[in-house]
Amino acid sequence: MRFLFTMLTIPKSYSVLGLPVHIMTNYIDWLLDGIKQGRGTHVVTLNAEMTIQAEKNQALAAVIKNAELVIPDGSGVVLYLRYLLRQKVRRLPGIELAEKLLEATAEQAKPATIFFYGGSPEIAEKAAQIWRKQIPNLNIIGTHSGYHSLQQEQQLLQHLAEIKPQLIFVALGVPKQELWIAKNRHLCPHSTWVGVGGSFDIWSGRKTRAPRWLANNNLEWLYRLYQDPWRWRRMLALPEFAYKSLIYRFGYNTLRNCKY
């Protein structure tokens, strides 16, 4: 019966510029089930910037292809799925998935053990404190900053291998967090690992998210650029993504008679 359930709930995968994106009606239930079963899951939150990075970084592309769950985090990816692949899909920003997952774990009879890794000193701990205050039932068992020596990292890895948190949020930015998870997930093979980018900065109050009207109009990137002007170079990936999407969909793939 369990086998049948798992088979039925294997996330359906679609190709966006050669990378998988999984579309499900309920990501949280699937992840909660995985946490309970100790399925061992790497969650990637895919956006246009990351897709272009992966074209130039084969290691990143391999990690994304190998991840058990890739969610449509960015507007570019969602527009691709909607208008080029004709799929009904809603955008799910990584930070919102992470928030919903935290809330859902706290509602379980036995809340999952959680670890926050990444961010500048004290940020992960501050984010954890704010969450603990908000949801006392949340079981965050440890935090660690993302800036440290190699020796401190070895200690962190040893610590993770000992305590084996069931849910591990890694906030080192793209592609560092994806590569780090792929390299180290064997230490806690039954855990669910999620790359959460700048989520600790937002939860700790260090930064703010774009107003909803900007996000609803596919303009969250504009707010991020306003907040961090250094991102301009990375954001050149957005028009590149749009251009390549059209070429990939109507040129390259048509020539090769591929489904996507």
Number of amino acids touching ligand UDP (CB under 6 A): 14
> Is 174 an interacting residue with respect to ligand UDP (CB under 6 A)?
yes
β-strand partners of 42: 193
Q: Which stretch binds ligand UDP (CB under 6 A): 7-15, 19-27, 53-61, 171-179?
A: 171-179
List the one residue out of 62, 56, 83, 99 whose CA is nearest residue 203.
99
Give dist(CA 105, CA 102) in Å, integer: 5
Query: Given the complex with ligand UDP, which of 87 and 223 has the nearer CB atom?
Result: 223
**CB 96 → ligand UDP: shortest distance, Å?**
14
Closest CA to 197 of 71, 44, 48, 65: 44
Q: Which of residues 118-157 bind ligand UDP (CB under 6 A)?
A: 118-120, 146-147
**Cis omega (within 30 of 0) on the bond before 229?**
no
Q: Give least dist CB 50 to ligand UDP, A.
A: 8
Give residues 190-209 in contact with ligand UDP (rule: CB under 6 A): 197-198, 200-201
Which regions of the chain does DSSP assign to beta strands (E)? 12-16, 19-23, 41-46, 69-72, 114-118, 140-144, 167-171, 192-195
Of 32 and 60, the one with the shorter C-beta distance to ligand UDP is 60
Residues at the contact surface with ligand UDP, assessed by CB under 6 A: 118-120, 146-147, 171-174, 176, 197-198, 200-201
